[in-house]
Amino acid sequence: MRTTLLKSLTFVCFVGLIFAGSLHAETSRIKDLASIEGVRQNQLVGYGLVVGLNGSGDTLNNAPFTKQSLTAMLERLGVNTRGANLRTANVAAVMVTADLPAFGRKGSRIDVTVSALGDAKSLQGGTLLVTPLMGATGEIYAVAQGSVAIAGFQAEGAAASLTRGVPTVGRISNGALIEKEIDYQFKDTRTVRLALRNPDLTTGRRIALAINEFMAAPAAEPTDPSTVNLAIPKNFKGNMVQLLTEIEQLRVDPDQVARVVIDERTGVIVMGKDVRVSTVAIAQGNLTISITEQPLVSQPGPFAGDQAQTVVVPRTTIQVDQGQNNKLAVLKDSVTLKELVDGLNALGIGPRDIISILQAIKAAGALQAEIEVM
């Protein structure tokens, strides 16, 4: 009896954990739904030279900016090459990009991406020389330098060549030093604005309710579909990190607009869980015409004479399939996403035809969702 009771309790607990896990899986952290306004990355860009390439660099005659940059760099180092005919193929002009993280401090390192600007074939084995990285204001925030690591490669012979990946784009891990910080007084902020990554009025309202319930005060208020204002309570003044850490871990069930996303180039279809279809009948048929050419060789008889020749006689076979076996299918009112997918799959059609059907259902006013074509 005791063993049976223990098994029953274990089963109940197991089912309860599954049920709790399913409920927990439907919610998301506020940290994943919204970002703190002002706490963001800043994009940096710079122009530099990569040297040490094994003959795979820019052709100086075809890339005058590379030649000018190389001449100017050598002059700064005390080498005069004005008027000289430079023929090196071991140098490539590149654009260097990086993201300056929020609250990045002087002396800390960030990753950079190096992309060829001229006709260089590969950046493999190259070294980026000192390159200042500027922000949108033109001020220098970081300086990059280091060995370039690429994921692709290129091999070339006299009659064939092989290229894998993109050998003209590389990356330097921790390749830039931050030289200037972006000033932001985080601890003295009296109000904080949360910016929703997917703007939605319902989601913003639920975030505000979760915050107010946690703080036991009306501190948060949604102002528009993408913003929630948060007033800092007196007991958290000067301790913003603790407050935002607690708020970020609160869980909210996000809402979304019923939407169907279609990528006609690849045939990808993504439908949200709230997509509904009114009662509609669908028939799908394809007209397929197949033309097959099978030429025949006609040879002369044994006593045809010298004038007889072997000729090729064309033979064409045409087949027409009008899709007469396809039937009319009915999708019932307010079907779920699974029922909609099962109904379309029951017609035996592919993604390309499903795209046309969804657009036709929308045109008929039976699809209760937005269609976004990428």
DSSP helix/strand/coil, 20 = helix
Query: How far is CA 247 from each of CA 29, 203, 206, 234, 282, rounded to the nearest angstrom?
Result: 9, 15, 13, 16, 48
Q: Per residue in 127-145, pLDDT tens? A: 999 999 999 889 999 999 9
Is residue 51 exposed (0-12), middle (13-18) or buried (19+ Cβ within 10 Å)? middle
Q: Which one has a higher pLDDT value, 213 or 312?
A: 213
Tell me the pTM: 0.65
Residue 338 has pLDDT above 80, yes or no: no
Convert the pLDDT of each residue in 54-69 to its tens digit.
888 999 888 889 888 9
- Bridge-based pairing state of the strands 370-373 and 259-263: parallel
> Is the predicted pLDDT of residue 262 greater than 60, yes or no?
yes
Chain centroid to CA 264: 17
- Mapped onto helix, strand or coil, the DSSP state of residue 71 is helix
Sign of the dihedral defined by the CA atoms of residues 350, 354, 356, 360, in that order: positive
Q: Is residue 327 within 8 Å of 335, Cβ to Cβ?
A: no
pLDDT tens per residue, range 274-300: 777 777 776 666 544 455 656 776 777
Burial of 81 per CB tally in 10 Å (0-12, 13-18, 19+) = middle
Query: Which H/E stretch holds residue 346?
Result: helix 337-346
173: Cα separation from own chain's centroid:
21
Of 16-30, 50-64, 172-186, 305-319, the one with minimum mean pLDDT is: 16-30
User: Domains of the chain, with CATH numbers?
Assistant: 42-154+162-178 (no CATH), 185-252 (3.30.70), 260-294+314-373 (no CATH)
Orientation of helix 201-215 relative to helix 240-248, angle to 10°: 120
Which H helix or E strand runs over 213? helix 201-215
